[in-house]
């Protein structure tokens, strides 16, 4: 049994806004073992980024309210004081953000910004820091790191900046690396390189990764487990294999069906999930996907718990009231469309 690093238990995050209370995260639970990659997948506004930032306490503020537990190596990060939490930020848990173009401070040299991450947690002189930064830049694949260390962010391309961000995140050899849509802002050709890099460095640094994305294709490569989020809740949670070969929740079917397939006849129009995600202020009763779900029935008005309904091992959890048999019948229709039926 691998070492359990992080356990999130029934996490709730609410923000008070002028329009009302936003239930950004509504009872999310997952766990992360050392060396594993957990993919969190969902549309914009599903609460995946808020979940990630809450792990580091970056969503704290006067308007934010939290409930639940974030247990990291036996300590609760959620109730920890800001000063205590700073010892973990960047050292034990580090984060890579979505947009590398804006995530680096334009007025400081790249090397200085990476060095700052090291020197925040370690008392070392500037020569040693610089050598470590050069070494890190080499590890993330920046050519001529001895020279590029003195470049400013605007002298780096988007892909190189994301590599620099990865170097910064790995600077203190963190146990948990949280990557929040690390490839969304990058060219498709660079995306695969970055994902491959994260996967490789995870092993080199013996870290675990939480990979947040809206793109199932991204997690298909590297994730071990996948959690699908919708409107602040995890609607399906299982191993990558279970998710891709035996998806249980209609929302997951919709996501899978939205991936254009080149190996099938070209449809008249690209498949999509009808409707849009609910407002996080006024959530529908019961199953939150109900208003958009083509298979909704009377029972969906009741709140579906996240349970292991397939009854297999490892557990494969989902939040759908349909029986496993019904799901298997309906699912192919949704994923492959009429063409396959």
Partner 1 sequence: MLTFIARRVIGMIFVLIAVSFLVFVIFIVVPGGDPATRIAGKNANDQLIENIRHTWGFDQPFYEQYWIMMKKTFSGELVSYTNQTNVAQEIKAGIPATFSLAIGAAMIWLFWGIVVGIVAAVNAGRSTDRLVTILALVGISMPVFWLGIIVRYYLAEGGLVTWFPDGEYVPFTTSPSQWFYHLILPWGVLAVLFIGFYGRVLRSNILDTINEDYVRTARAKGLNPRRVMLSHVLRNSLIPIVTLFGLDFAAVLGGGAILTETVFDLHGVGQYAAQSIGSFDLPPIMGVTLFGAFFIVLFNTIVDFVYAFLDPRIRPT
152 is a site residue for partner 1 (CB under 8 A): yes
What is the total count of residues that contact partner 1 (CB under 8 A)?
28
Structure tokens at 284: 């529908």
136 is a site residue for partner 1 (CB under 8 A): no
Nearby residues of 136 by Cβ (< 8 Å), 6 or more positions away:
114, 167, 170, 171
Q: Are 110 and 171 in contact (CB under 8 A)?
A: no
265 is a site residue for partner 1 (CB under 8 A): no
Smallest separation, CB 212 to partner 1 (Å): 14
Q: Name 7's bridge partners.
A: 31, 71
| Identified binder of partner 1 from the candidate list 104, 176, 179, 198, rule CB under 8 A | 104
Mark the segment that binds partner 1 (CB under 8 A) among 95-103, 273-281, 291-299, 316-324. 95-103
249 is a site residue for partner 1 (CB under 8 A): no
Q: Which is nearer to partner 1, 82 or 263 (CB)?
A: 82
Region of residue 68 (left: phi > 0; alpha: psi -120 to 50; beta: else): left
To which residue do tokens 């490789």 refer? 200
91 is a site residue for partner 1 (CB under 8 A): yes
x/- mask, partner 1, residues 161-200, rule CB under 8 A, reads ----x--x--------------------------------
107 is a site residue for partner 1 (CB under 8 A): yes
Q: Are 235 and 289 in contact (CB under 8 A)?
A: yes
> Other C-beta atoms within 10 Å of 114: how many?
27
Q: How far apart are CA 173 and CA 154, in angstroms?
A: 26
| Identified binder of partner 1 from the candidate list 24, 25, 117, 293, rule CB under 8 A | 117
To which residue do tokens 């209609």 refer? 250
94 is a site residue for partner 1 (CB under 8 A): yes
Q: Which is nearer to partner 1, 65 or 323 (CB)?
A: 65
Using CA atoms, how far residue 198 sits from 80, 147, 209, in Å, is 29, 23, 8
Q: Name which of residues 47 to 66 contact partner 1 (CB under 8 A).
A: 56, 58
Closest CA to 41 of 274, 204, 295, 258: 258
Using CA atoms, how far residue 147 sits from 51, 108, 109, in Å, is 37, 15, 11
193 phi/psi in degrees, rounded to 5: -60, -45
Mark the segment that binds partner 1 (CB under 8 A) among 73-81, 116-124, 284-292, 312-320. 116-124
Smallest separation, CB 300 to partner 1 (Å): 38
Smallest separation, CB 239 to partner 1 (Å): 29
106 is a site residue for partner 1 (CB under 8 A): yes
Q: How far apart are CA 144 and CA 141, in angstroms?
A: 9
86 is a site residue for partner 1 (CB under 8 A): yes
Give ∠ CA 152-155-160 in degrees, rounded to 5: 100
| Identified binder of partner 1 from the candidate list 97, 230, 251, 253, rule CB under 8 A | 97
Residues that bind partner 1 (CB under 8 A): 56, 58, 83, 86-91, 94-95, 97, 99, 102-107, 113, 116-117, 120-121, 152, 154, 165, 168
């Amino acid at each position: 049994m691998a070492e359990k690093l992080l356990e999130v238990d029934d996490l709730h995050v609410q923000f008070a806004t002028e329009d009302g209370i936003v239930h950004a995260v509504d009872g999310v639970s997952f766990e992360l073992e050392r060396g594993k990659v957990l993919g969190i997948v969902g549309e914009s506004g599903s609460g995946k980024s808020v979940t990630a930032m809450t792990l580091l306490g970056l969503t704290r503020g006067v308007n934010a309210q939290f409930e639940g537990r974030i247990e990291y190596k036996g300590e609760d990060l959620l109730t920890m004081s800001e000063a205590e939490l700073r010892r973990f930020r960047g050292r034990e848990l580090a984060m890579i953000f979505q947009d590398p173009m804006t995530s680096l401070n334009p007025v400081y040299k790249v090397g200085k910004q990476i060095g700052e991450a090291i020197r925040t947690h370690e008392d070392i002189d500037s020569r040693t820091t610089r050598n470590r930064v050069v070494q890190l830049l080499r590890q993330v694949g920046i050519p001529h790191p001895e020279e590029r260390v003195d470049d400013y962010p605007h002298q780096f391309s988007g892909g190189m900046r994301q590599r620099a961000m990865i170097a910064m995140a790995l600077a203190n050899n963190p146990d948990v690396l949280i990557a929040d849509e690390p490839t969304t802002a990058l060219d498709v050709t660079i995306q695969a390189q970055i994902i491959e890099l994260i996967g490789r460095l995870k092993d080199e640094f013996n870290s675990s990764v939480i990979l947040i994305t809206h793109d199932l294709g991204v997690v298909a490569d590297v994730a071990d487990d996948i959690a699908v989020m919708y409107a602040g809740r995890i609607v399906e949670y299982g191993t990558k294999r279970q998710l891709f070969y035996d998806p249980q929740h209609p929302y997951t079917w919709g996501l899978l069906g939205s991936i254009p397939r080149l190996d099938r006849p070209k449809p008249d129009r690209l498949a999509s999930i009808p409707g849009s995600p609910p407002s996080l202020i006024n959530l529908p009763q019961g199953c939150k996907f109900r208003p958009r779900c083509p298979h909704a029935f009377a029972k969906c008005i009741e709140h579906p718990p996240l349970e292991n309904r397939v009854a297999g091992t490892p557990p494969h959890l989902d939040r759908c009231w349909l029986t496993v048999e019904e799901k298997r019948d309906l699912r192919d229709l949704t994923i492959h469309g009429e063409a396959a039926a």
